[in-house]
Amino acid sequence: MGLPLEKPMLATRILVGIWLLLSASCERQKTNITTEDPWTAKPRAPESDPIVAKVGTASIHASDVKRQAEQTGTNARVALDALIDLEVLADRARTLNFAPNADTLRAQKKAMVDVYMKREFEPTLGIENIKDDELRPIYERARSFFVRPRGLRLYVMTFTAGPTFGRTFEESRSLMRDFHAALKAKKAWTVEELDELTASSRWVEKKIKVSKGLVQSPGSPFYGKPSEILMALTKVGEFSPVFENEGGLHIAMCMEIFEAKNISFELMRDEIRSTYFPRWKKERFLAHADKLAQKFGVTVNDQALSVLDEK
């Protein structure tokens, strides 16, 4: 019945369980036999919630043992021992008739809050209580993740042209012909090899421009014919033909392909609900607490509070 000395961590968990339940148990009179579950306020059914042990006139039911085991992470026997020790210690505390103090009052309030939360509030916080109207905005905010066209991640190499860049298109075409010939000298290129090539003094002096990792989808950022040329790439490592637009001459290598996705809200509903549930539950609790605070007229002395931080 006592706490095993060779298992200090187990003893600690049992003592924690004792103190968590102490204030609630101290309220029960010695001659009272529990007929209601204190967590649900529902009558106990002897056939489904039998008495497991008695300590004097106090009864310990199967549901009490199960709850204690779940809260402390122990098996039924250890949980029962903790509850028996609790009843014995609570009975001894009653006989000594201790005067209420800050610790016992705080423990009593905590026990009352726990019962209130489990009986009145938590039954309304099931995951099934999250409505579609709350989930759909989450889906819409992440819509680009669930619904998107086919896309490509590209390594784009450019020789700019036009009055803004101080080079004619004819000059840029000549540079691109030379650069294209250098690319064709190898059958395949890696990103690292392209980095090395474009960083060489020969091409740096020619002011080659590199856009590494640019994501192209139909019509953006390249549009019109250049977009069609790029979207025709089908393999990683494949090069596009050389193409022109108002900014100059370009050639691109495909680094990654993103296939089109079209995942509907209906398909994602359960996953979104499961992910959102912890945050939703916390938001409901805070809203409930704020509502109660307004009802009871909570006031805060900010000046006294700020002094505490200074100490």
Distance CA 71, CA 77 (A): 14
Q: What mean pLDDT comes out for the span 92-120?
A: 79
Q: Which amino acid is present at 290? A: D
Parse the chain into domains and list their residue ranges.
8-103, 127-141+263-310, 150-259
Using 50, 70 and 90 to split pLDDT, how confident is the model at 7?
very low
Distance CA 243, CA 251 (A): 7
Q: Are 28 and 34 in contact (CB under 8 A)?
A: yes
Q: Are 159 and 243 in contact (CB under 8 A)?
A: no
Q: Which two tokens stand for residue 264?
A: 């509907």
Distance CA 47, CA 151 (A): 63
Q: What mean pLDDT comes out for the span 285-308?
A: 82
Per-state percent for the chain, helix, strand, coil, to nearest 5: 55, 15, 30
Distance CA 8, CA 257 (A): 57
**Per-residue pLDDT, 37:** 58
**Per-residue pLDDT, 163:** 92
| pLDDT tops 70 at residue 294 | yes
Q: Which two tokens stand for residue 208?
A: 């080659």
| Residues in the chain, total | 311
Radius of gyration of the chain (CA): 36
**Per-residue pLDDT, 44:** 66
Strand pairing class (58-61; 151-160): unpaired
pTM above 0.85, yes or no: no
* Signed CA dihedral, 64, 69, 70, 75: sign only: negative
Q: What mean pLDDT comes out for the span 240-258?
A: 97
Q: What mean pLDDT comes out for the span 147-160?
A: 96
Comparing 3-12, 158-167, 239-248, 289-298, the range with the smallest average pLDDT is: 3-12
Highest mean pLDDT among 62-66, 92-96, 174-178, 275-279: 174-178
Residues of the chain with pLDDT > 90: what percent? Answer: 47
| 45: Cβ contacts below 8 Å, ≥ 6 apart | none
**Per-residue pLDDT, 43:** 67
pLDDT tens digits for 13-69?
433 343 444 433 444 433 344 456 555 555 666 677 888 898 887 888 888 899 889
Q: Identify whether 221 is preceded by a cis peptide bond (ω within 30 of 0).
A: yes
* CATH no. of 150-259: 3.10.50.40
**Per-residue pLDDT, 104:** 77
| 188: Cβ contacts below 8 Å, ≥ 6 apart | 237
